[in-house]
């Protein structure tokens, strides 16, 4: 008697998981993972004959909350598929942030070893693995100082615009005290709110580790993963340059490159701060004493510019990775990894895809070489069954 395919030894289920805005940002279109699409059919030709393809769809929104919800949903979907096909082996092929969704789903299988054993591999195409973690003390201090400096500069900009003559007549010592008071009034509530948020970080956003599942990473230079990693590195540079953000200050002090970096950053901020102060003076036709110009430029606008640059970098990184809950920014740190943490992975980077193009190489599934490699990986996993 013939056995159904899902009960045949060696049958495989390939689950496709799409990434961000896979159906188009403005209007629906046929996606690469839809049955009947050119890519779907080309992939099917490369897979072993005893393979069936299923597609998992989620909202595709570029935010961490949506990916966490999708990970929970995909976990349930995978459990259901394994229950319906108990004799099949399952391989996941995920693109972009779909890889994060799949990795998050597998991490939820830690208490289900029987089901997890049916998952034979995870193939990720151009996936940046994004996690929110609790920041270190140095990172928290950096964020608080940057916010305080930025808000203080904005506050004093308003005062200088409304009362230019009055402030120009104040003694330097009195103005210095006022600057310190306003900075403290910003710092204290910000520190209190950050401390409160620090204890309420949603555990579903935290870094989780898939267990006992082979992971294959396929990437190209200048793909989304490279972009996110580049933004992360740039933001780390900004953090350390403007605030000395380091959990090992002694090592930082012994590194002469850090001193040069801090000096360049602070000099640039100081020059911009003095320039802004001079613009205020000329705009309102007020002759301020040189001491006042130095005070405003050094203690208000120099740290204010540093805070603005810091949050500009954080904003770009947050928008790129989908960390859209602004009220939690002070209490969270963004981590972007090339692979799930503490997991051995096999990595292949394509350096010749669209070599003449300057665009972001993101749609890896469109290339024949990638499709062939995905088929080869699934076939290799099938031969181990």
pLDDT tens string 241-253: 555 544 444 344 4
Per CATH, which fold does 5-126+363-383 belong to?
Rossmann fold (3.40.50)
Measured distance CA(198)–CA(195) in Å, rounded: 5
Cα-based distances in Å from 135 to 143, 220, 251, 331: 10, 30, 20, 7
- Over residues 265-292, mean pLDDT: 65
Q: Are 132 and 332 in contact (CB under 8 A)?
A: yes
Q: Any idea which residue has 């954080």 for tokens?
A: 314
- Beta-carbon neighbour count of residue 45 at 10 Å? 9
What's the pLDDT at 351? 81
Whether residue 24 has pLDDT greater than 80: no
Q: Compute the distance between CA of residue 378 and CA of residue 385 in angstroms, rounded to an integer.
A: 11
Highest mean pLDDT among 22-36, 196-210, 331-345: 331-345
The dihedral sign for the CA sequence 174, 176, 180, 182: positive
**CA nearest neighbour of 64 among 332, 352, 289, 353:** 332
CA dihedral 173, 178, 181, 182 (to 10 degrees): -150
Q: Which helix (H) or strand (E) holds 174?
A: helix 172-198
Q: Is the CB of residue 20 less than 8 Å from the CB of residue 62?
A: yes
Q: Where are the domains of the chain?
A: 5-126+363-383, 137-203+235-334
pLDDT number for residue 267: 66
- Concatenated DSSP letters for 22-51? TT-SSS----TTSTTSHHHHHHHHHS-TTE
User: What is the pTM (predicted TM-score) of this model?
Assistant: 0.78
Tell me which DSSP letter residue 2 carries: P
The mean pLDDT value for 170-187 works out to: 74
pLDDT at 273 over 80: no
Most confident range, picked from 188-192, 210-214, 360-364? 210-214
Instruction: Give yes or no for residue 61 having a pLDDT over 80.
Output: yes
Strands of the chain, DSSP E = 12-17, 51-56, 89-95, 119-125, 129-133, 215-220, 333-337, 345-350
What integer pLDDT is reported at residue 375 of this predicted model?
94
- Strand order in 345-350's β-sheet? 51-56, 12-17, 89-95, 119-125, 215-220, 345-350
Which of the pair, 138 or 368, is modelled with greater confidence?
A: 368
Distances (CA, A) of 257 to 32, 249, 260, 313: 47, 14, 5, 21
Q: 60 or 282: whose pLDDT is higher? A: 60
């Amino acid at each position: 008697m013939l056995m159904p395919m899902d009960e045949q030894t060696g049958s495989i289920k390939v689950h496709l998981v799409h990434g961000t805005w896979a159906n188009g940002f403005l209007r629906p279109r046929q996606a690469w993972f839809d049955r009947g699409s050119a890519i779907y059919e080309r992939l099917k030709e490369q897979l072993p004959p005893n393979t069936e393809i299923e597609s998992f769809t989620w909202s595709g929104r570029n935010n961490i909350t949506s990916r966490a919800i999708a990970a929970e949903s995909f976990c349930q979907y995978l459990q259901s598929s394994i229950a319906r096909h108990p004799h099949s082996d399952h391989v996941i092929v995920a693109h972009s942030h779909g890889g994060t969704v799949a990795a998050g789903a597998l991490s939820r299988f830690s208490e289900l070893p029987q089901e997890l054993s049916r998952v034979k591999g995870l193939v990720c195409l151009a996936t940046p693995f994004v996690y929110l973690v609790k920041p270190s003390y140095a990172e928290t201090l950096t964020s608080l100082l940057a916010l305080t400096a930025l808000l203080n500069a904005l506050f004093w900009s308003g005062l200088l615009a409304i009362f230019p003559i009055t402030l120009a007549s104040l003694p330097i010592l009195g103005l210095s005290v006022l600057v310190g008071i306003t900075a403290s009034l910003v710092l204290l509530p910000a520190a209190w709110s950050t401390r409160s948020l620090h204890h309420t970080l949603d555990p579903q956003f935290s870094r989780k580790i898939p267990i006992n599942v082979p992971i294959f990473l396929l990437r190209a230079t200048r793909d989304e993963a490279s972009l996110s990693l580049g933004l992360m590195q740039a933001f780390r540079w900004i953090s350390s340059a403007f605030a000395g953000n380091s959990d090992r200050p002694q090592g930082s002090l012994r590194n002469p490159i850090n001193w040069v970096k801090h000096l360049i950053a602070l000099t640039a901020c100081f020059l911009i701060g003095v320039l802004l102060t001079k613009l205020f003076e000329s705009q309102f036709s007020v002759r301020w004493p040189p001491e006042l110009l130095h005070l405003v430029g050094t203690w208000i606008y120099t740290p204010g510019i540093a805070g603005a640059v810091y949050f500009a970098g954080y904003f770009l990184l947050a928008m790129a990775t989908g960390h859209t809950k602004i009220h939690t920014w002070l209490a969270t740190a963004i981590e972007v990894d090339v692979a799930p943490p503490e997991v051995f992975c096999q990595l292949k980077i394509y350096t010749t895809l669209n070599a003449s193009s300057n665009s972001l190489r993101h749609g890896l599934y469109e290339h024949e070489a990638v499709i062939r490699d995905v088929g080869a990986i699934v076939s290799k996993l099938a031969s181990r069954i």
